[in-house]
A and B are shown apart, each in its own frame.
Chain A
């Protein structure tokens, strides 16, 4: 084959592939779903696990021909915006979503970002799914925010009660990073612990967000010798270092947190010292993960090289949005229709074994259904893997 014919063949192949691509795009209209969250800096793991979960699921849906809403098959496009954990950037991100005509946005990841975007979301007709815990976001008159995970004031009491009953815990110490999310989680955790009869022996110690060496920070806490050390709102980056420092300082009690963690990060950062560490997870442990969840993990790993256990929780938001729209297609352009559907919506939970369902909850915490029913799975880390300690349900 001479050079000219090679060029002709390559050109033909290129034109053919372009034509095929355009045919695929022409077949299905696009449904844009937004993500506004932190994908850079020390807390990047939180937002990136969100974004990648959405991108993995969207690619999967598009590969099998789209998602059926009403009589139309849609291809899903994820539009992402890095808010750098800055409320001003989060507002800019939500404005960008509004400009693009997007009505459903996952994020932001932190309290102040979620609070900041509320006016923009409400004015622009956007439903958003934050991973932030302030109750006023989900309580009337607010109605556009839907909590994407289990809040610490819901998981904390379940964990403390279990540890009181099963492990005989009587005293507790709290340590938190000096920023809004961890501090508010510490305060609500402290209130829950005291309500259950635990004695708080230390609750004032905080650390800078960018701390890398926790031994000096933990030294005064460990000297109070609590039965349980709670790492309030701890980020996955800090958890292994805190655990390691606490154990090296001779702490032999229990350590827990109400945030989701990643097994590999714990394995690398703390190794066997993290054995017994209790955290909140999602539907991924072998006991409860469905075949679809396992396939999601495999596809995520194929796309990004490595899975993040935080995605066990974050896989849900996009699924809820799409399933709710499928239940009421009028919601695609009208979030009021979406809100009405939320009250009665119910669908099988594809990520859990058994007869678990997707539905909106939150009436006991917020007085209205403004929370995704994500399984409250409490994990314990042992020998490099998470094991399910208990499974519960909010509401």
Chain B
């Protein structure tokens, strides 16, 4: 099962005395096949885990870069079935665990049970659903569990200890600790409160705790790797692809960034 693969990949990174590197890219950006190649390059460059974004019309938790990428992907006609195919192809080409990250409405509309079944059949490891808080998640979790998928919850600095425990008890795979209060996008520095949030989260669970939002370079990756089990990078990868003159140079830039970040997560401890 791919959820187990996710667990073993994260455990292996831990055993190597380093943090895992998790890279995000929306499916269909700039094209379905282009995104598959970019994500493959991210693994070749050093990503341990891939998050495939399901582009959404109203991405309220995303900053301008991912909004733009989602918009281009949707205008290009990307459909849910293309997203699931992307998950399958990236997993097949790289052997890495591949998660799907999406807003809840597309999954709800597709049908939670059907989505879980199709994602699992494609080799997906699980889902991150940032606008499905734990109190609304029971139906999804049942479907996910039945199909051997992990459900990764996001925790925030504003999450109180009691609620943290409730969230981590319901989650699986890993816990996504948001480094800052805000939307996706690169930042000059990783939030001061991230370390404290990781510590508070660890006190409630044995799951790995990975930090995302705002991490864009090797220095930040190294800093986060000093206290977290994984480092999640999204916007910086998308931006490399967006700023490139063509797909080939974009893929090379994405691979190079993965390499820099992979070094970052290894120097810290």
Decide whether A and B assemble into one complex: no
B residues sitting closer than 8 Å to A (CB atoms) are: none
A residues sitting closer than 8 Å to B (CB atoms) are: none
